Amino acid sequence: MRTLGVLTLLSAAVLLCSAAPGLEPLTCRKVNSSVAADKAVHHINEYHDHGYKFRLHEVQGNSVEQVDGGCNVKLQLDLRETKCHTINPKPFEDCEIRSELARAVKANCTVLMTIKDGDANITKYECDTRQEKTNLEMVRICPDCPVLLPLNNSEGLKSVREATAEFNKNTSNQHYYILKEVGRISTGYIMGLGMNYYPEFALVETRCPMGSRIIIEACVPLCPDRARHAFCRSSYSSQNGLLSTECEFYPAENTTALGPGEKEPVCGHHGRRHPHGHGGPPPHAHDHGGGPPPHAHDHGHGSPPPGGKGKGSFHPLRHFHPCHGFLVNPDPALHPICPWPLPHRTQN
């Protein structure tokens, strides 16, 4: 009897371990929509590597269709953008959601999931990412609240360049940093100061030692796992120039010191920083969805494919084509959640 008791306990422990920590496993007999939604939001954040992390606001609907050997689950999820940029190592669950007056962003996602043999897999999702209130609606609620500008707004980007130059005067840094991505740019008119710009942007540490006489913009980033990152908020007035810059630093994932005479590794454009800080990339990180691998990451339009921070990340100023143009009518002021898997591009 005693042996049996131990066995039961052991198998219960094994069952518990096989599910996500703290969550009951998903079965077709009983689809717990909050457990399913949690799995979906983890997946979405794992593949979302521009802009900000998202959190679940509400499960708006779910339906289950029984199929041979399992079931297909469809979820309608309402997500909200958090204040954590994707380079922030904080788990999305711990990130604060933006308030309405701080120009909140919502994503309405349709997620398809398959449950088979006790394994739940996301197979597809599409999201519509929008500002919670349009500029017109906001003006009525709060005429003095900031408005979001398109991410390639010239004056907004000028303020980012000045803030980055200021950042690079900090001699506590070992290396220069360059712009990785502009997260959002808000703006507002202030009496006596003219237009004010409040950009948020991500910087990445480069190979160029602090103090070297070089054109900083030409510096090449350290490999994604060896680079420190910084996330900055600054303010800039069209009349008085840069007013303030505040940054938080995120340590490199790999802080192993190089041996004597060892050079910084060459990582090419395929190095990536895994969003959850585990050793390697997750399976299918460079996969656009089960099909053949994408052609060499030659997209070069400021939006590398999900799961791959390609060369394009470092030229965010030129164009802005989120999700490689696969979205209909995206808001140019936001980093949307891209559909997954991304449809295959047949030609450039």
In the complex with ligand NAG, the residue whose CB is nearer, 32 or 238, is 32
CA distance 290 to 285: 11
Instruction: Provide, rounded to whole angstroms, the least separation between the CB of residue 103 and ligand NAG.
Output: 18
Mark residue 219 as left, alpha or beta (left: phi above 0; alpha: psi -120 to 50; beta: remaining): beta
CA distance 78 to 128: 10
- Burial of residue 64, with CB atoms counted within 10 A of its CB: 0-12 exposed, 13-18 middle, 19 or more buried: middle
Instruction: Provide, rounded to whole angstroms, the least separation between the CB of residue 18 and ligand NAG.
Output: 12
Q: What is the DSSP string of 307-338?
A: T---GGGG-TTS---GGGGTSSS--TTS-PPP
In the complex with ligand NAG, the residue whose CB is nearer, 7 or 134, is 134
CA distance 341 to 122: 10
Residues 6 or more apart in contact with residue 193 via CB below 8 angstroms: 237, 238, 239, 240
In the complex with ligand NAG, the residue whose CB is nearer, 152 or 237, is 152
Instruction: Provide, rounded to whole angstroms, the least separation between the CB of residue 120 and ligand NAG.
Output: 8
Number of other residues whose CB lies within 10 A of the CB of residue 72: 16
Instruction: Provide, rounded to whole angstroms, the least separation between the CB of residue 15 and ligand NAG.
Output: 14
Instruction: Provide, rounded to whole angstroms, the least separation between the CB of residue 176 and ligand NAG.
Output: 12
Give 294's Cβ-side CA count (13 Å radius). Answer: 25
Q: The tokens of 337 are what?
A: 């959640």
Radius of gyration of the chain (CA): 22
Instruction: Provide, rounded to whole angstroms, the least separation between the CB of residue 173 and ligand NAG.
Output: 4
Residues in contact with ligand NAG by CB under 6 A are 23-24, 32, 34-35, 108, 110, 114, 116, 119, 121, 150, 152, 154, 170, 172-173, 225-226, 249, 254, 256, 265, 283, 319-321
In the complex with ligand NAG, the residue whose CB is nearer, 4 or 50, is 50
In the complex with ligand NAG, the residue whose CB is nearer, 143 or 260, is 260
In the complex with ligand NAG, the residue whose CB is nearer, 1 or 16, is 16
Task: Look up residue 271 and give its amino acid.
Answer: G
Three-class SS of residue 99?
coil
In the complex with ligand NAG, the residue whose CB is nearer, 47 or 320, is 320
Instruction: Provide, rounded to whole angstroms, the least separation between the CB of residue 302 and ligand NAG.
Output: 8
